[in-house]
Amino acid sequence: MDVVTDGICIAHLNVRSLLPKLADVQQVMNDLNVDVFCLTETWLTNAVDNSMVRIEGYNLYRRDRDGRCGGGVAIDARSCFKCFVIESNPIIEQIWISIRVKSMDLSVGCVYRPPNSSADLFINTIELQLINCNLTFPLVFCLGDMNIDFLDGNSQLTLKLKQCLNSLNMIQLIKEPT
């Protein structure tokens, strides 16, 4: 669930509706001492103001699913970090931020692919985003729920995504079902 690098803890959770689970999410963040928390399936809409889902000591960056229920991605980053939203293609559900940690900038992305959406479009789009981030940042973290089974080594989707990540020298850290 979490990755610690250079003193920063980054985690991801598929929350499946943030608003009613906000207290639970905050508890997880406190228990794990999370610095950057990526959330997928936030189910937020533009009717939900950031103040309604704000966690004290964090800044919220989010991209809601437009006009349809479900989906949505968000990143909560400690307010002590200097962060900026990185431009990304809105054709897939993703949000990326740059974070200044000590004297280094890194990028963190939170991505979600609904199970019934085009995996090829998702992989092609995320590959372009990862290339752009790799050209700019010394460290790139991509967290989320891609709905592609990394344990199925024979799946064409898995092989395509692994090839994409390998070509960018990225490492899949999760080795077992979550």
All structural domains of the chain with their residue ranges: 2-167
The closest of 5, 40, 60, 42 to 122, measured between CA atoms, is: 40
pTM of the model: 0.94
- pLDDT score, position 161: 94
Stretches in the chain below the pLDDT threshold 70: 1-6
Q: Dihedral angle at the C-alpha atoms of 73, 112, 34, 168, nearest 10 degrees?
A: -130
Question: Which CATH code of 3.40.50.1820, 3.60.10.10, 3.40.50.2000, 3.40.1380.10 fits the domain covering 2-167?
Answer: 3.60.10.10
What letter does residue 114 receive in the DSSP assignment? Answer: -
- pLDDT score, position 77: 98
